[in-house]
């Protein structure tokens, strides 16, 4: 009897110890990553759904067939989150190819790493870099098994959204297979008169370090790791095409083995006529990374 009592007690002790150990190490988002293909711990999304994450919204659109990957779409300054869908063929063609679309409402964001005392009061509540990388991405990973490191993730942005793509990829290089950026700015010291940058950081003359280093993508180019398609119309009067040319040259100089493509059409401006003309080029660029 004593022998059996000892065995039972030993079993209970080991069992309890295992459960305590499990409790301490269990992390839902890691478990979701490991079982992403089974969707074990993830909620199911409708074909189209608008979610509220914190104070901001995001649209998710799913393809009719099996998803081949996720496409993060970042709009221009003050553009509605579905503007690119309504005014170009991007969403229709990306859904047909099998992408799940993720379209956050970024409002008047400039994708800042932080806000400054000089930031305009009416812009202080706009979503910035950390809402995307720390809040939205984690929420989608944990709840819906989207944007997992094990999946094929891509991003595309236009105008300020192109800058957003660069900011996000620098912060999360392990997350994206390839990205595309159209009509964006990446080295703001070359455009010190830009009102959006002034509205967020104060003037270049007063705060050169913010402009030249802290919020400057080209200054951080040595950290760049992601294949990218860069496009910019040469007739652009909103943002000079030289911004994209400079960005391209900085990447190629520092990362000569990385896949980078530059498109500078001579007869296009800062509008949807141009952005729509690049849709097929961008999707073709992404296809080469779907097999990797």
pLDDT of residue 3: 44
pLDDT of residue 291: 84
C-alpha 31 chain-centroid distance: 23
Q: At what angle do helices 90-97 and 279-290 cross, to 10 degrees?
A: 20
How far apart CA 100 and CA 59 sit, in angstroms, is 10
- C-alpha pair distances (Å), 221 with each of 88, 107, 183, 211, 217: 31, 26, 18, 15, 6
pLDDT of residue 15: 44
Q: What is the mean pLDDT of each run of 10 residues along the chain (292 residues)?
A: 44 42 33 41 90 97 96 97 96 98 98 98 97 97 96 98 98 97 98 98 98 98 98 98 98 98 98 98 97 80
pLDDT of residue 14: 42
C-alpha 157 chain-centroid distance: 9
**Is residue 139 classed as helix, strand or coil in its secondary structure?**
helix
Regarding the domain delimited by 28-290, which CATH topology (the fold level of the hierarchy) does it fall under?
A: Rossmann fold (3.40.50)
């Amino acid at each position: 009897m004593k022998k059996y009592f000892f065995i039972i007690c030993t079993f209970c002790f080991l069992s309890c110890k295992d459960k305590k150990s499990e409790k301490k190490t269990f992390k839902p988002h890691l478990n979701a990553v490991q079982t992403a293909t089974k969707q074990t711990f993830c909620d199911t999304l409708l074909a189209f759904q608008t979610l509220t994450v914190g104070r901001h919204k995001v649209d998710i659109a799913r393809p009719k067939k099996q998803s081949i990957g996720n496409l993060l779409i970042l709009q221009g300054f003050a553009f509605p989150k579905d503007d690119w869908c309504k005014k170009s063929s991007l969403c229709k063609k990306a859904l047909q190819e099998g992408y799940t679309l993720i379209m956050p409402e970024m409002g008047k964001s400039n994708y800042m790493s932080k806000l400054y005392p000089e930031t305009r009061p009416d812009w202080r509540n706009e979503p910035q870099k950390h809402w995307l990388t720390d809040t939205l991405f984690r929420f989608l990973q944990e709840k819906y098994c989207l944007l997992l490191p094990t999946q094929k993730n891509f991003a595309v942005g236009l105008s300020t959204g192109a800058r957003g793509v660069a900011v996000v990829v620098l912060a999360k290089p392990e997350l994206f297979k390839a990205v595309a950026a159209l009509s964006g700015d990446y080295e703001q010291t070359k455009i010190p008169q830009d009102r959006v940058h002034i509205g967020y950081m104060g003037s270049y003359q007063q705060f050169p370090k913010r402009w030249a280093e802290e919020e400057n993508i080209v200054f951080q180019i040595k950290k760049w790791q992601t294949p990218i398609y860069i496009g910019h119309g040469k007739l652009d009067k909103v943002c000079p095409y030289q911004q994209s040319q400079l960005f391209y040259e900085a990447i190629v100089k520092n990362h000569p083995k990385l896949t980078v493509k530059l498109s500078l059409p001579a007869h296009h401006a800062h509008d949807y006529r141009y952005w729509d003309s690049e849709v097929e080029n961008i999707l073709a660029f992404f296809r080469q990374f779907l097999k990797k």
